[in-house]
């Protein structure tokens, strides 16, 4: 990608992070850490990779995205708002009673959300079903699903992985947001996944490992994934949990906690400074 494209993606990712903090602060609850780690990949999907149109959120030919780690919806909502699926005002009432944007994605009420999720492990199975449906329909849309590394401790993920390679779902691309942390601590201390690449290879996947906070690597990975035929692809995206808000980075305590007023100001000051530097 050229420098201008890179800059636009970086600005959008920064805006997605600002929406994330804004939403979680106003909700007084939610999951900032894994939303911030995933913001770059989600931004890339909506602003470069996927064939989607906010004017036609149900277009049968659109690419699909399933946020299997549904608790990280503040980043998804941020990207959808930025893309024009709904107004920014919705972000400010995230998780409020009666509001459209709830604590986990709801496909029935939120334009742009292709699958309800939040029960870890289930979204990836739904994504497999969507990819198989595309094969039956001879449709050429692609299906993307993002999982957490902690989520990969769920047995259902591996059942879905087996299914995806059995049915040669080369229209399916999984992304593991490998930030090293889950709810209770380090993934390695809870139930380690390594070597995750040979595990997925053993399950019949093409495996691509990248720095998931680097847009050039993200682009190369998605471009390669589109060339893989006869098997599904997984992108292992090494990321930093809390990325962009320095006091949240790599801190397990920011998995599922809202910042207080002082912390909110510090986070917004930092992200707004990043945005200003990109806009300069
Ligand atoms: C089936 C299920 N069990 C438990 C939870 C509670 N839970 C929410 S987030 C989380 C940890 C997820 O860690 P990870 O997948 O690494 O997410 P990230 O680091 O990206 O936030 C857990 C256990 C859940 N949502 N679903
Ligand atoms: Mg994690």
Using DSSP's 3-state secondary structure scheme, residue 205 falls into: coil
- Residue 72 confidence class, pLDDT cut points 50, 70, 90: very high
For residue range 193-251, list pLDDT tens digits in order. Answer: 999 999 999 999 999 999 999 999 999 999 999 999 999 999 999 999 999 999 999 99
Residue 272 C-alpha from the chain's centroid: 22
The number of the ligand nearest the C-alpha atom of 33 reads 1
The residue nearest atom 7 of ligand 1, judged by CA position, is 183
Cα angle vertex 242, ends 256, 197, to 5°? 100
Q: Residue 146: nearest ligand to its CA?
A: 1
pLDDT of residue 138: 98
**268 CA to middle of ligand 1, Å?**
25
- Structure confidence at residue 14 as a pLDDT band (50, 70, 90): very high
- In this prediction, residues 10-39 reach a mean pLDDT of 98
Residue count of the chain: 280
**Alpha carbon distance 128, 178 (integer Å):** 20
| % residues pLDDT > 70 (the chain) | 100
Model pLDDT, residue 128: 98
Euclidean distance between CA atoms 250 and 112, whole angstroms: 30
Which of 71, 124, 250 is the pocket-test mutation for ligand 1 (most atoms within 8 Å of CB)?
Answer: 71
Q: For residue 200, how far is its CA from the centre of ligand 1 (angstroms)?
A: 20
Tens-place pLDDT, residues 180-207: 999 999 999 999 999 999 999 999 999 9
Q: Tell which residue, 172, 156, 177, 161, has the closest CA to residue 71.
A: 177
**In angstroms, what is the span from residue 227 Cα to ligand 1's centroid?**
31
Nearest to 114 by CA among 162, 155, 156, 146: 146
Per-residue pLDDT, 45: 99
Closest among 131, 172, 181 to 151, alpha carbons compared: 181
Which of the listed CATH numbers 3.30.565.10, 3.40.50.970, 3.40.50.300, 3.10.150.10 matches domain 3-279?
Answer: 3.40.50.970
When pLDDT is averaged across residues 37-64 and rounded to a whole number, the result is 98
Atom index in ligand 1 nearest the CA of residue 121 equals 1
Q: Please give the share of the chain, as a percent, with pLDDT higher than 90.
A: 100
pLDDT at position 195:
97
Distance from the CA of 38 to the center of ligand 2, in angstroms? 10
């Amino acid at each position: 990608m050229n420098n201008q494209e890179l800059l636009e993606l970086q600005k959008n990712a920064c805006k997605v992070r600002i929406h994330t903090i804004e939403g979680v602060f106003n909700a007084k609850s939610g999951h900032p850490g894994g939303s911030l780690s995933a913001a770059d990949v989600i931004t890339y999907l909506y602003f470069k990779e996927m064939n989607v149109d906010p004017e036609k959120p149900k277009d049968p030919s659109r690419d699909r995205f399933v946020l299997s780690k549904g608790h990280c919806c503040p980043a998804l909502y941020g990207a959808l708002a930025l893309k024009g699926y709904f107004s920014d005002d919705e972000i400010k009432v995230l998780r409020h009673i009666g509001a459209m944007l709830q604590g986990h994605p709801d496909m029935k009420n939120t334009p742009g959300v292709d699958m309800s999720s939040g029960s870890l492990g289930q979204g990836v199975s739904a994504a497999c079903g969507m990819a198989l449906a595309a094969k039956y329909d001879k449709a050429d849309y692609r299906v993307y699903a993002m999982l957490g590394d902690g989520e990969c401790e769920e047995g259902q993920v591996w059942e879905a992985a087996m299914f995806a390679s059995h049915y040669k779902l080369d229209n399916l691309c999984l992304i593991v947001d490998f930030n090293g942390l889950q709810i209770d601590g380090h993934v390695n201390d809870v139930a380690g996944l390594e070597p995750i690449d040979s595990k997925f290879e053993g399950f019949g996947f093409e495996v691509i490992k990248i720095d998931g906070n680097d847009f050039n690597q993200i682009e190369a990975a998605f471009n390669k994934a589109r060339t893989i035929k006869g098997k599904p692809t997984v992108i292992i995206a090494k990321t930093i949990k809390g990325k962009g808000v320095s006091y949240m980075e790599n801190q397990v305590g920011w998995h599922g906690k809202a910042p207080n007023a002082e912390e909110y100001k510090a986070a917004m000051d930092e992200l707004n400074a990043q945005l200003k530097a990109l806009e300069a």
